[in-house]
Structures are given as C-alpha cells and as structure tokens.
Structure 1
Amino acid sequence: MKPFDILLALWVAVIWGFGFVFTRYALTEMTPTLLNLVRFAITALPCLLLPRPKLAWPVWIGISLLLVWQYLTQSWGIAQGVPAGLTAVIVQSQALFTIAFAAVLLGERPTRVQLIGIGVAACGLLMICFTVGYDFSFFAFAVTMTAPISFAFTNLLLRRARDVPMLDLFAWISLASLPPLAAVALLADGPAAIAASLTQLSPGVMAAMLSLSIGSTTIGYWIWGRLLHAYTAAQVVPFALLVPFIGAGASSLVFGEQFGPLRLSGMLIVVAGIAIMLLFGRARPLPEVG
C-alpha cells in the first residue's frame, strides 16, 4: 500500500475506535433511540446527491433492520453500564459469528485456521462472561452480544452488494432505517421528550453526533470503500483490528475505564482470535461499522 493510503486506513481505524467514546458521551444527554435516529438522519443526507444503488428490496429491508438492531443494542448496552472499550471488542467479534453463520447457512466450510481463530475468540468471550455482574448486569451484556450477531447477518447480506459503492450504499440504507428508528424512538421516548432533548443538546454532544455521523460513517466508509477497491481485502481489513484497541484505550483515557486482569485478558484473546481469522484464515472481506 502507498504510504498515504496506509495513513488513511489508520485514520479510519482511529475514528471508528473513537466512535465508541463519542457514543458514550452523547448518551449523557440523549437516549439510545434518539441518538441513533439523529445519527442515521444525518448519515442519510448524501441521498440528496447520490443515486440509489440497485439492490433487491428484501436485501434493503433486511440490512436496514439489522443495522437498526445492531446500533440500538450496542448503544443501549453502553447506556446500561457496559464499558465503551469492552463494547468495541464485543462488536468486532462479528468476524467470529460471520464465519460461523456462513458455514451453517451457506455451507461455506471454514478453514482449519479459521476454526482455531473461532475457538480462541470464543474462549476470550467466555472469560469476559465470568466478569459480568459486578459493574453491569448480565442482561445488559446479553443484549450487547446480539449486536455482533446482527452485524454478522448484515455481512452475509452485504455480499449481494459487493460492486456497490459503500458511500452510496450506506447513505440509502440509513434512509431506509429511519422509519423503524423513528417508530421505536416515538414509542420509547415520546414526542415531547424527543423535542425537549433536541433543544437542549450541548455543543459538545452536537460535535460528537457530527463526528459519529459524518466522520465515522460517511467519511469512514467512503475511505474504506476506496481502499477496498484499490487493494486486496488482505491488505486493508487487518487495519480494522486496531479499532478495539483504540476504542478501549481511548475509553480508558477519557472515562477512566478500568479492566480487571480476567476481563482484559479475555478482550485481548478475543482480538487475537479475530486476528487469526483475518490474517491467516483467508476469510472473505468483512465490512466494518464504527
């Protein structure tokens, strides 16, 4: 890769990692439902300039609903006390579930190295399970664990849109996600609470929302898609391994999050398992969401 493109890949990993920090910060003034409604509304704005990609409606609806569930559950988990750094690691475990679901649903036999990576990552998740119940509930952890599962199903559907530009794709997917997000926000928060919250947002939270929407999603995916078109997945995808490290490190510095020896070991083992799958398992390209 060219040095400039390496810097771009590193920058994307940084903004995706910090996305978990911005999410926790925004949740100090917004509910998870409102946060995601505003985020997807901003992300959908490029639809005014970009053509709608050709994609079957069942795929559109499936991806939209899965993304709504993924972002709602991971932000709800953070709101319930699941550390943002730990959430970053949990979400990246989608690589494990993607390979497993592809094997079960599509008959794709994982390689021996991929099976080793799945086993290593699963051991790390099990270690994290043993730390649950002290600073956040097991229920919050269980709900957060559905985010990478939803992410994995999204990956399988996204295989039908490999030739579609990522910027166009996610802008229009964001637009399709607005109706279910608006319905959930109205039911969970109510019109009065939504209006009051939007009129009282601090400049810091507004900046965090713009960073999540424009930085992490719009610009991040545009750069990521550009890199995937210019280089092989084996050259680009490994940079995503930096996301959980950056997310955990930034959360520790900004919020003072601390991880005990068992949880920290589990987090490192999960990332090690993902690294085995991506670097040595000859896995298919796995789209990443910050």
Structure 2
Amino acid sequence: MTSERHRQAALAAMPILFVALWSTGFIGAKFGLPHAEPFTFLFVRCVLTLTLLVPLTLLMRADWPRGAGLWGHIAVSGLLVHGAYLGGVFYGIYQGMPAGLAALLVGLQPLLTAALAGPLLGERLGAVQWLGLVMGLAGIALVLGGKLDPGETLFQGFGIGALVSVMVALAGISLGTLYQKRYCTGMPLLGGTVVQYLATGTLMGLGALLFETREIEWTTTFVLTLGWLVLVLSISAILLLMALIRRGEASRVASLFYLVPPVTALEAWWLFDERLPPLSLAGMAIAIAGVVLVVKSRSGGAQSRSR
C-alpha cells in the first residue's frame, strides 16, 4: 500500500516538476545568448547532450527504435519538438524578445494543439475543456496586452523577425507533440531521444555553419548555463516530457504549458527585473484557472470511463 501511494504521488508530481524545469529554458537562453549565437549555442548543447545520453542508453541496455520507418518518424518529431521549438525561441530572444514574453507567446500551444488533436488524433474535447482552453488564451492575451508597443516594432525592444521566430517555435512544439503521439507510439524513451537529438543537432549545425560566425565566449556564466540546459533541460525535462506524452492525451499534456509563462515571468522578474503590469498579472491568474479547468475535468472524465 505504501509503495503504491508513493508511486501515485510521484506520478502526480511529474507535471509540476516538468513545468518548473521547462520554465528555466527561457531563463537559460537569456543568460547564455550574450556569449554565443543561437544556432551555435544549440549545436553545442546537442553535442554535449548526446555525449551524455548515448553512453547512458548503452549502459542501461535500453532499446533502440526498430525499423527505418520509426527512426524517420522519431527524427521528424525531434526536428519539430526540439529543432523548430528551441531554434525559434532562442533566435527570438537573441533578437531582443524578453524571456517572459517568449514564454507567453509559445504558451498559446495548448489551444493550437487542442484544435488540431481532433482531426489528427481523433481526440474530442467537451464544453468544459474548451472553456478552459479559451480562458487560457484570454489570459495570455491580457498578459500580452500589457506588453504591446504602439510603435513600429510592435513590442518593446524587438521587431517582427523575433515575433515570427517564436511563432515558428509555437507551431513546431504543437505539431511535434501531435506527430509524436500519432506516429511514435513505439518509441523507446532513451534510444528515441538520442535519435531526436541527432536530427536536431544536424539542423542546428547547418544553421550555425550557414548563418553564424560560430564564435563563443567561454565565460563562467556561459559554462554554467550550458551545463544546466544540458543536464536539466535537454535530458531530465525532455525525458519527462516524452513520458508525459506517452502516458496522456496530447491536449492534456499541452495544457501544462499554460503554467510555464507565469512561472517564467516570475523568474524573469526576479533575475532580470522584467516587470509585468497589473493587467498581465490578472491574465496569468485567468490562464492558470483555465489549466486547472482542463486538467481536472479531463482527469475526472478518464476516471468515469475507467469505472
């Protein structure tokens, strides 16, 4: 009984731990990008991640994907979940977008994922779930409303290029979550993640080779930031995300991302003095309420079906 209780507690803590870890990725980008260009930064991150992940996979004698078809699907999901998402977020922050605002924009993912989950995966959301998703979108809109700049740059400190880049990240993580849920159900956790990072590292390497100087300032801040992103984000948080996707429906997993913007905004306020007006704080509260509505009603529906 005690071991089962501990297991249930660990499962319940997985989403909370994921949100806490995932939010620090935006902060890591803010710390590291002054010392390296985005694609170069991400290429080094992928190489170091693979340097740790491949021996771990071999040591644990973990399974590898079976068949060229599954390898291809996993590579595509990696290009979307890691390549497009990380590349878009890092480039947007490199172009001047605040870390908190980048998190808020990609926080639109649950609505996009839920809208696509029906035609692509056959998942259906009820009225209560849609209400929660709309509340989340409305909350994020309020937060953005407090950041709008009526000038030519649209937002303070950056232009349309940064906005488009983060929208690419939004599309990548949304489509990648759905693609993986549909085509990568047989993906072994460790071996599959290695394949994803191989594809992503190749893409980031090409981006660095074609568009960047590939110069890095190996400062203490950069080294510590890189270590955190590799160990905590690229390995721990990504494996946790893959486990969550495999355990739950795509729209429910995506709803966790509503919680990332307020957590990131608080971290950015503490570390970089990125301040939010009262309207934005109210938007955060509405977004969190939307998450609770989606997750609670969805888990309640699952329990009813199990009975």
TM class, shorter-length? 0.7 to 0.9
CA offset digits 1:16-73 (Å, max 9, x no partner)? 2222211110011111111211122222222245253236244134213213111111
The 1:12/1:128 distance shift into structure 2, 3 A limit, reads closer
1:149 pairs with one of 151, 165, 171: 171
User: 1:74: how far off?
Assistant: 0.9
The 1:252/1:185 distance shift into structure 2, 3 A limit, reads same
Pair 1:111 & 2:126 matched: yes
Distance 2:299 2:245 in 1: 16
Give the length in aligned residue pairs. Answer: 277
User: 1:207: how far off?
Assistant: 1.2
Stretch of structure 1 that moved more, 126-135 or 276-285: 276-285
Runs (5+) with no aligned partner, structure 2: 58-62, 149-153, 303-307
Distance 2:206 2:256 in 1: 36
In the other structure, the counterpart of 1:29 is 35
**Is the contact made by 1:117 and 1:273 (CA closer than 8 Å) also made in structure 2?**
yes
Give the letter for the 1:146 counterpart: V
Distance 1:275 1:8 in 2: 15
Which aligned pairs between 1:232-251 and structure 2 lie closer than 5 A? Answer: 242-251=259-268
Which aligned pairs between 1:1-290 and structure 2 lie closer than 5 A? Answer: 2=6, 10-45=16-51, 46-50=53-57, 51-54=63-66, 56-66=70-80, 67-130=82-145, 131-132=147-148, 133-137=154-158, 139=160, 140-159=162-181, 160-189=183-212, 193-194=213-214, 196-197=215-216, 200-223=217-240, 242-282=259-299
The 1:251/1:166 distance shift into structure 2, 3 A limit, reads farther
**Is the contact made by 2:70 and 2:184 (CA closer than 8 Å) also made in structure 1?**
no
Using CA pairs below 8 Å that are at least 6 residues apart, which structure has the higher relative contact order? Answer: 1
CA offset digits 1:230-264 (Å, max 9, x no partner)? x878xx96876654333221111011110123333
**Is the contact made by 2:101 and 2:144 (CA closer than 8 Å) also made in structure 1?**
no
| Structure with greater Cα Rg | 2
**Is the contact made by 1:167 and 1:225 (CA closer than 8 Å) also made in structure 2?**
no
Distance 1:80 1:283 in 2: 43
- State the secondary structure of the residue aligned to 1:201: coil
User: 1:216: how far off?
Assistant: 1.4
User: 1:125: how far off?
Assistant: 3.7
**Is the contact made by 2:79 and 2:200 (CA closer than 8 Å) also made in structure 1?**
yes
The 1:271/1:76 distance shift into structure 2, 3 A limit, reads farther
CA offset digits 1:60-111 (Å, max 9, x no partner)? 3421321311111111122223221232333333222111111244453322
- State the secondary structure of the residue aligned to 2:218: coil
**Is the contact made by 2:113 and 2:178 (CA closer than 8 Å) also made in structure 1?**
yes
Distance 1:239 1:184 in 2: 30
**Is the contact made by 1:85 and 1:251 (CA closer than 8 Å) also made in structure 2?**
yes
User: 1:136: how far off?
Assistant: 3.6
TM-score (structure 2 length as normaliser)? 0.76
The 1:282/1:153 distance shift into structure 2, 3 A limit, reads farther
- State the secondary structure of the residue aligned to 1:108: coil
In the other structure, the counterpart of 1:288 is none
TM-score (structure 1 length as normaliser)? 0.80
User: 1:147: how far off?
Assistant: 1.7
Give the letter for the 2:54 counterpart: C
**Is the contact made by 1:89 and 1:270 (CA closer than 8 Å) also made in structure 2?**
no
Distance 1:89 1:185 in 2: 27
Distance 1:53 1:164 in 2: 6
Stretch of structure 1 that moved more, 62-71 or 215-224: 215-224
Runs (5+) with no aligned partner, structure 1: 286-290
